[in-house]
Amino acid sequence: MRTNLEDDILILLSDVARHIRTYADKIARMHGMTLAQWIILARLERQPDLSQNELAALAEVAPITAARLVDRLAELGLVKRCADPEDRRIWRLRITPEAAPILRKIELFRVELHELMTMEIDPWFLDAMVIGLHQMKESLSSSRRLAKASREERPNIKA
């Protein structure tokens, strides 16, 4: 295990994620939205007809958080709730035609940010990083690990 904090993977991942969120949120706010709203729009473009609960699960946020984000997007005329033909208790979410210009901006921004973040990284190394990050995500989100962690005693960590 490395002792140099500058090379600590947990700190590096946290720092990179914070920089991405800060940069992306600044750009989204310049367009009158939040990064969270942009993410919801992008998800709904790729997966139309999600329910709010499905969207919340995919975005890994509480259902009430997803509902508030969808409310705001609906107020802006970018998302509409449509009745589920099989279950009238469920609303399916769809982006509206008014969202198209914003979705184009989001895609242009994603390309720009990707180029900025990866401009000095060899493609083969970037591919390895993506594989590694997927493995980390799977390890952390695995239901077996979550169940095991909930059964085990928490470590005694003192601040």
pLDDT the model gives residue 89? 87
List 81's β-bridge partners, or say none. Answer: 93
State the fold for domain 5-120. Answer: Arc Repressor Mutant, subunit A (1.10.10)
Give the other-Cβ count within 10 Å of 113's Cβ. Answer: 14
Q: Do 91 and 83 contact (CB within 8 A), yes or no?
A: yes
Per residue of the chain (159 residues), what is the pLDDT tens digit?
556 777 788 899 999 999 999 998 998 888 888 888 999 999 999 999 999 999 998 888 899 999 999 999 999 999 999 998 898 888 999 999 999 999 998 899 889 989 999 999 999 999 999 999 999 888 888 755 556 666 565 555 555
pLDDT the model gives residue 88? 85
What's the residue count for the chain? 159
pLDDT the model gives residue 140? 85
pLDDT the model gives residue 157? 56
pLDDT the model gives residue 138? 87
Each domain of the chain, given as residue ranges in start order, spans 5-120, 122-152
pLDDT the model gives residue 31? 83
- Written as six digits, the tokens of 154 are 């928490």
Q: How far is CA 143 from the centre of its chain?
A: 20
d(CA 40, CA 27): 16
What is the 3 state secondary structure string of the chain? CCCCHHHCHHHHHHHHHHHHHHHHHHHHHHCCCCHHHHHHHHHHHHCCCEEHHHHHHHHCCCHHHHHHHHHHHHHCCCEEEEECCCCCCCEEEEECHHHHHHHHHHHHHHHHHHHHHHCCCCHHHHHHHHHHHHHHHHHHHCHHHHHHHHHCCCCCCCC
pLDDT the model gives residue 148? 61
pLDDT the model gives residue 134? 93
